[in-house]
Amino acid sequence: MYFGLSEDQIFFQDNIKKFLEENSSVDILRKIAADDRTFAKDIHDGIVNLGINGLLVPEEFGGLGLDILFAAAISESLGYGAGATPFIGSYVMAPIAIIDGGSDKQKQNYLTKVASNEVKFGVGFSALTGARDDSEIQIKGNKISGRSLFVLDYEYATHFLISDINGCIGIIDAQANGIDLVELKTIDRTRNVCELILKNVDFEILEQTKNSKNTAEKVIDAGRIMLAADSLGAAQNMINKAVDYAKERKQFGRAIGSFQAVKHMCAEMVAELEPCYALVWHAAHAQKHMPNEARLMACQAKSHLSDVTKEVAKKSTEVHGGMGFTDLLGLHYWFKRIGLNRQLLGTPERVREEAALLQLN
């Protein structure tokens, strides 16, 4: 019996953290936020070199064949380092969709290319997770029309994977006719989202998703766990920064960390965040090993982490006093990463409602 990350998982995490520590300083983040994309490209290339693109792709298709827990461990480290790279869409949601929903031929075709990095997916699922502006996606035969509002990881995408409101998922080529790509700007400049306006675009439906929501649900569950893990890592980094700052910064003749008010803020953050590790890992583990609890745990991981990390983001900023508010320390890059994760793939209220319905039915 062992509950926790394996040595391999921790080793991979450490590699990513180390890479980001060396290549993604606050100065670099500042440049990326100012739309200097060459730095983002370097980070993305470095992370891909570590092997994340083939992570979930089965070994028979040239990937590493690892599981969602492994992906969660990586997502956590990307959140920790505010890694400006596609991950959740391109390398988690997309391969899972194809593994679970694709025909043998589709798997052979796309998974191999994901593993070899020839094909990169942007992923649009918000029609299913409570998009505020109606997406009006319509699939007719092999054509798709409508709007997919929040497409993740679009920047380097060669293809897009889109779901309609019924969980019917298909692939479009980024070069196909009829695609209008509108860049969206969010608070978080370390990840990129766009809107796709589609007019009668060629659409290759994943075989198993024509009449079943199952695949879409698995994809969303995995995506939510990744978001939870990303926020976990980001929040942990913010706490670490706050604790370090509280030890160094002096006010009224003493380290601010010796004031009970500051101490207790730090203690409260840790007390809330620490159990989240186990929840995220457990939920990720459940995706493979505990099918009856998999969906519920994914929902609860997403919504609980959204709430806890929102609070951590605020409190850790407060511990930094005025400096927390500036771009000088750059704490806000993590604050905003947590802010984006909270709203993606369903707000906490929406996701908890899903969790409740899972248990009532």
Binding site for its own copies (CB under 8 A): 259-261, 264
Out of 18, 37, 187, 200, the residue judged to bind other proteins by CB under 8 A? 187
Identify the CA nearest to 68 among candidates 228, 177, 254: 228
Q: How far is the CB of 46 from other proteins (least distance, A)?
A: 26
Q: Which does 141 bind (CB under 5 to 8 A by kind): its own copies, other proteins, none?
A: none
Q: Indicate the residue among 139 and 242 with the shorter CB distance to other proteins.
A: 242
State whether residue 173 is helix, strand or coil: strand
State whether residue 329 is helix, strand or coil: coil
Q: How many other C-beta atoms lie within 10 A of the C-beta of residue 132?
A: 9
Q: Which of residues 212-241 bind other proteins (CB under 8 A)?
A: none
Q: Indicate the residue among 108 and 184 with the shorter CB distance to other proteins.
A: 184
DSSP string, 221-279: HHHHHHHHHHHHHHHHHHHHHHHHHHHH-EETTEEGGGSHHHHHHHHHHHHHHHHHHHH
| Rounded CA separation 145/54 (Å) | 31
| Rounded CA separation 314/310 (Å) | 6
Q: Indicate the residue among 113 and 315 with the shorter CB distance to other proteins.
A: 315
Q: Which of residues 245-304 bind other proteins (CB under 8 A)?
A: 246-247, 250-255, 257-264, 266-268, 270-272, 274-279, 281-282, 285, 289, 297, 300, 303-304
Binding mask 297-336 for other proteins (x = CB under 8 A): x--x--xx--x--x---x--xx--xxxxxxxx--xx--xx
Q: Which of residues 58-117 bind other proteins (CB under 8 A)?
A: 69
Identify the CA nearest to 320 among candidates 238, 259, 221: 238
Q: Indicate the residue among 163 and 303 with the shorter CB distance to other proteins.
A: 303
Q: Which does 1 bind (CB under 5 to 8 A by kind): its own copies, other proteins, none?
A: other proteins
Q: Angle CA(83)–CA(86)–CA(90) in degrees, nearest 5? A: 150
Identify the CA nearest to 72 among candidates 226, 234, 221: 226
Q: How many other C-beta atoms lie within 10 A of the C-beta of residue 174?
A: 17
Out of 93, 149, 161, 196, the residue judged to bind other proteins by CB under 8 A? 149
Q: Which does 171 bind (CB under 5 to 8 A by kind): its own copies, other proteins, none?
A: none
CA torsion 61-63-69-71 (nearest 10°) is -120
Q: How far is the CB of 229 from other proteins (least distance, A)?
A: 14
Q: How far is the CB of 133 from its own copies (least distance, A)?
A: 23
Out of 38, 177, 185, 361, the residue judged to bind other proteins by CB under 8 A? 185
Out of 19, 61, 121, 150, the residue judged to bind other proteins by CB under 8 A? 150
Q: Which does 105 bind (CB under 5 to 8 A by kind): its own copies, other proteins, none?
A: none
Q: Indicate the residue among 175 and 260 with the shorter CB distance to its own copies.
A: 260
The one-letter amino acid at 65: G
Q: Indicate the residue among 73 and 97 with the shorter CB distance to other proteins.
A: 73
Q: How far is CA 312 from CA 259, 265, 319, in A?
A: 19, 9, 10
14 alpha-carbon distance from chain centroid:
18
State whether residue 54 is helix, strand or coil: helix
Q: Indicate the residue among 2 and 252 with the shorter CB distance to its own copies.
A: 252
Q: Indicate the residue among 261 and 290 with the shorter CB distance to its own copies.
A: 261
107 alpha-carbon distance from chain centroid:
23
The one-letter amino acid at 83: G
Q: How far is the CB of 147 from its own copies (least distance, A)?
A: 30
